[in-house]
Amino acid sequence: MTTPIWILALIAVLGSAAYLRVSLKSATLATAVVLIMGTSLDVIGWYTWLIFLLITLPLNLTSFRESVISRPLLKMYRGIMPEMSRTEKEAIDAGTTWWEADLFAGNPDWKKLHNYPVPHLSVEEQAFLDGPVEQVCAMLNHHQVSHQLADLPPEIWQFLKEHGFFAMIIKKQYGGLEYSAYAQSRVLQKLSGVSSELASTVGVPNSLGPGELLQHYGTQEQKDHYLPRLAKGVEIPCFALTSPEAGSDAGAIPDVGIVCKGQWQGEEVLGMRLTWNKRYITLAPVATVLGLAVKLKDPEHLLGDVEELGITCALIPTNTPGVETGRRHFPLNCMFMNGPTRGNDVFVPLDYIIGGPSMAGQGWRMLVECLSVGRGITLPSNSTGGVKTMALATGAYARIRRQFKLPIGKLEGIEEPMARIGGNAYLMDGVTSLTTTGIDLGEKPSVISAIVKYHLTDRMQRSIIDAMDIHGGKGVCLGPNNYLGRGYQAAPIAITVEGANILTRSMIIYGQGAIRCHPYVLAEMDAAFNPDTQQGLSDFDAAIFGHIGFTISNLVRSVWFGLTSSRFSESPYKDHTKRYYQHLNRLSANMALLSDLAMATLGGNLKRKERISARLGDILSQMYLASAALKRYQDEGRQRQDLPLLQWSVEDALFKAQTALDELLDNFPSGLGWVLRPLLLPFGRPFKRPSDTLDHKVAMIMQTPSATRDRLGAGQFWQNCDNNAVGIQEQTLLDILAAEPLYEKVCQAIGTKLPFMWLDKIAAEGQALGVLNEHEVALLERAEIGRMKSINVDDFNPLELTANNLSKQAAHQAA
């Protein structure tokens, strides 16, 4: 056997060891076995053994390795990587890692994903959805809310309070509903399909707000006082964080509190003088209790030696002298309660701090911990519910509406945006289900919550633009029968709040993900700044050499997957989904490798290279979205009829991840992109966007009543009632499909092809010719009424649209 063959054998052994991620000692032993075999055949000489020993002995002797290799590396690391600020560390420590860490690790465990429990509703939660949620949806007249009252009507406010809509997160011991995150998501999805105002009003008190903060951090006295009142709706809460000077950079709030003594209810007490100017605060105009974040200072050292205590959260009744609320913002014609709050030198006792005086300065940690949960539920669920309702409504409209003598849904130009809506609806529902599963398992998935906030609100906005294009004038003309226009106007609100999407994509997703999800980076950072220098060195040695092995493994896996198109990688199934799992294995290894190389070349400057961070975050995000779609397909019994929806979802996510990867390589620092491209993409870009054929299949699902279509819109409000244009249109779709063969029968009897309109007149002709019975005539007449309601738009007396009509709204507010 020749020397080149032994060299190849050695490369194969080392490559296999790296691919399989065996320990350093195991890899050393395997290499030694190959060398022994080569020596016995007189192929391997003493110089090869010398090189082997010079490399492996220092690496396997831990104490030598720490002193000679790790110590200078640690010194270099400290010079490159600055120590995290308190704010950064609190943000990093706030959440937990879950499935996204597997995706980041370059070797996802797909069995782990599919072993997560299938989300389900309790009997009580299902009854709430079928009862009070269904009722309030039927009560709401969206046109009345958005155009006439500029608010929810009083009877709906009362209904929400009486039935505990503001208490879904409050524990039962305090009178709350204590629903699962999954149940909260399903409630918000159903409400958002009817009205963004209704969903926002219910969502905010159940997300980041006084209720959540009190349950986690409040004193027992605060819990006993406020939580029962919040559960009953006696108190309406809001939480004020954002100010004119601090939007996405919430940690920079200028609002201040000064610890001091003052008069309170006739006595001198230790308290705070608070000054704030907040805006964009949902429910502030009607709130009775104000959650407030300020930077607390103790210049007289009344609480201790620290003067700058930091961000502190307090709970203040809005009837406290000096508290200003009541005025409203006007966010894009979306009439949920949102407005500013101000206060100047307002004195309150220190007991108003959530958690009491001992929690002074702990507000930022409190906020980011709660945000890591709330941000994963409210906005993603609201976006998902809107798209699910939009998908079926658009499908029905496209089947009912005709141009060029056929339903517009059969036009290829319409099929393309329809498929995007339908595919996104399927994907987004899977993502919210997986995310809330993690939350219900006790996770605080800060990285995942950032992913779903950004990507689901973004997909919602793009979907509603597509729906508007398909509906044309039907979507443009506002009125009681327009189920799109107000949602289209309000879409940018979801993009902006709870961390603007631009910031979330470019700084938060990967900024937190690189540290939280990476198996070694956080350990390296903790070790580097450990005050116990010897323990720090030992921990750093273990982390840095684990990191080096991790990088080598991902390099080997990436090259192998590129050469083989990942065909030999693991997949939990051998069916039509097999290649999707394998492609995600490849992307996972690619992202892990590129992440390490980006951190190695840029160090602490990586966080300032926001477009590099954004693209790395995009790859991670799209992998999470695709895996959520695969989990949904598994949870729903792998229904073959649903396969086009799954295929569209995963192929769209893979294509978007590939686009991010391609752009990342084009812009990779230090000119490494041209070296990495042939290693990662040796045969070019492997993934394609969903095909025209697949678009057609998805569009047909949206237009054709079936169990698959029902699953696509599951849980939304489809009741055929006066205030529900989409429910009425669903019945019209059924009537039109039933009317078409009757129309054909009459055309055959007449001997000519009539236009598919005036179906009531066609019914009369069919009855006169004796080809239609009374039931069939009634069906055609009902179908024509529904058809005209579906394709017509609203019109108004000009006086109804004048500004003077606002006086009625003002009178309503005063009442």
Residue numbers annotated as active site: 498
Could you tell me where the DSSP H helices lie in 637-704?
643-666, 673-680, 692-703
Residue type, 418: M
How many CB atoms lie under 10 A from the CB of residue 181?
25
Which tokens go with 687?
Answer: 């993934």
Q: Are strands 256-264 and 289-297 parallel, antiparallel or unpaired?
A: parallel
- CA 472, 427, 371, 105: dihedral to nearest 10 degrees? -140
Residue 349: exposed, middle, or buried by beta-carbon count in 10 A (0-12, 13-18, 19+)?
A: middle
CA pair distance 753, 749, nearest whole angstrom:
10
Q: Are strands 267-282 and 256-264 parallel, antiparallel or unpaired?
A: antiparallel
Tokens 């005050």 -> residue? 531
H/E stretch holding 326 reads none
* DSSP class per residue in 538-606: HHHHHHHHHHHHHHHHHHHHHHHHHHHTTTTS--S--STTHHHHHHHHHHHHHHHHHHHHHHHHHGGGG
Residue type, 22: V
What share of residues in the chain are helix, strand, coil (percent, to 5)? 65, 10, 25
CA pair distance 43, 517, nearest whole angstrom:
45
Contacts of 53 (CB under 8 A, 6+ apart): none
Which tokens go with 536?
Answer: 């720090």
Residue 492: exposed, middle, or buried by beta-carbon count in 10 A (0-12, 13-18, 19+)?
A: middle
Q: Would the CA dihedral through 17, 23, 27, 30 be positive or negative?
A: negative
Which tokens go with 328?
Answer: 């409203």
